[in-house]
Amino acid sequence: MQVALNDRVERRLRAFAAGGEIVRLRQPIDTERFKAASPLPERARRVLLLTNNTVADRQAMLEEACRGAGLELTRIGGAGKQTTDPREALAGADIVVGLGRGILEAMACGRAAFVYDWSGGEDWVTPDTYPAIEADGFAGRGEAVIDAEALAHGLKGYDRSMGPVNRDLIVAHHRANVHAQQLIEIFQRLAPKAQRPEAPVADMARLVRLEWRARAELHGVRVENQKLHTELHESNALLISAREEREEAKQLVADTIQAYEGTFSWRLTRPLRRLIAAIRGRSV
């Protein structure tokens, strides 16, 4: 039994003529770990090149294309820039450029994804281009020849709807839990049938139910926490506004008094006020 995660690898396995069944699955992505942190903006501003490959000439072309499209380019990966957790970098980008799993994880995070790197490029991942790009393993080995002008023109095709659409594509075709279920079905088909003990299975089922109940309660707590956080933020804003209004009122009173004491009538009646104060036993 051999498992291929794209058509290109499947064709290679068949070319080896090693025999045995070949099962075609898809790249699994943890859609709970990789998820959208925020919606995409109306106009893209930041591009992330996600690659571990040395692509100085192609990166120079991408930099030129980004300048032409008015985009800011950053890079994660390669010498001195590697990371074991790209989620923060993905969340800060509007467009992600790269190949393979980097593109899939970017799509899961609701980012616009452009397939391009050391081996060439394809285009934007969209519902129309996804089947062919996925079949090739997001490897960027299409027939199109992409230069800086074509890159700049392509990047201008950004649309904020790419974010949720890409997320939907990942959820529909690449969920890791579905991938695990498919592998279990394969193992069950290949393994000899055996009598399964009932007690551990029942205990496992109970633990799974408890886990999902805990997840539901945790989700409720998160929603309530977000609600309270919003209310606290609004209350703080009202308090700050009230303090500012009070300070403005105090300043207005002080300015009014100062303006009145500077009038001719105030100065003219000063002797009279002093006389009244002396009579009352105090000074002005």
Q: What is the CATH number of the domain that holds 62?
A: 3.40.50.2000
25: left (phi over 0), alpha (psi -120 to 50) or beta: beta
Question: What SS3 class is residue 176?
Answer: helix
Residue 128 shares a structural domain with residue 217 = no
Angle in degrees, 0-180, between the axes of helices 162-173 and 100-108, rounded to the nearest 10: 110
Q: pLDDT at position 190, please?
A: 82
Q: CB count, 10 Å around CB of 5? A: 16
* Whether residue 37 is found in the same domain as residue 162: yes
Which residues partner with 121 through β-bridges?
A: 116
117, containing H or E segment: strand 112-117
91 and 170 assigned to the same domain: yes
Is 130 in the same domain as 214? no
Question: 112-117 and 2-4: which strand pairing?
Answer: unpaired
**For 147, phi and psi rounded to 5 degrees?**
-105, -175
Q: Is residue 188 part of a domain?
A: no
- Domain boundary (141, 174, 207) is at 174
Range of the domain at 278: 197-284
Question: Is the same domain home to 36 and 89?
Answer: yes
Q: Mark whether 97 and 204 lie in a shared domain.
A: no
221 and 105 co-located in one domain? no
Q: Is residue 118 part of a domain?
A: yes
90: nearest Cα among 80, 100, 103: 103
Residue 16 resides in a domain: no
Same structural domain for residues 214 and 89? no
Contact 47, 176 (CB under 8 A): no
**Whether residue 112 sits in one domain with residue 63:** yes
Look at residue 154 and tell me if it is in a domain.
yes
Amino acid at residue number 16: F
User: Same domain, yes or no, for 113 and 202?
Assistant: no
- Are residue 163 and residue 215 in the same domain, yes or no? no
| Average pLDDT, consecutive stretches of 10 residues, N- to C-terminus, the chain (284 residues) | 88 82 92 91 93 82 88 85 88 93 94 88 90 90 76 88 95 94 88 68 83 88 87 88 87 80 74 78 54
Residue 14 forms part of a structural domain: no
What value, to the nearest 5°, has the Cα angle with vertex 142 and ends 63 and 127?
A: 90
The answer to whether 119 touches 98, Cβ cutoff 8 Å, is no
Number of domains the chain contains? 2
Q: With contact defined as beta carbons under 8 Å apart, do 37 and 91 qualify?
A: yes
Is residue 164 domain-resident? yes
Q: Which amino acid belongs to residue 259?
A: A
Residue 37 lies in a domain: yes
Same domain, 142 and 243: no
**Inside any domain, residue 278:** yes
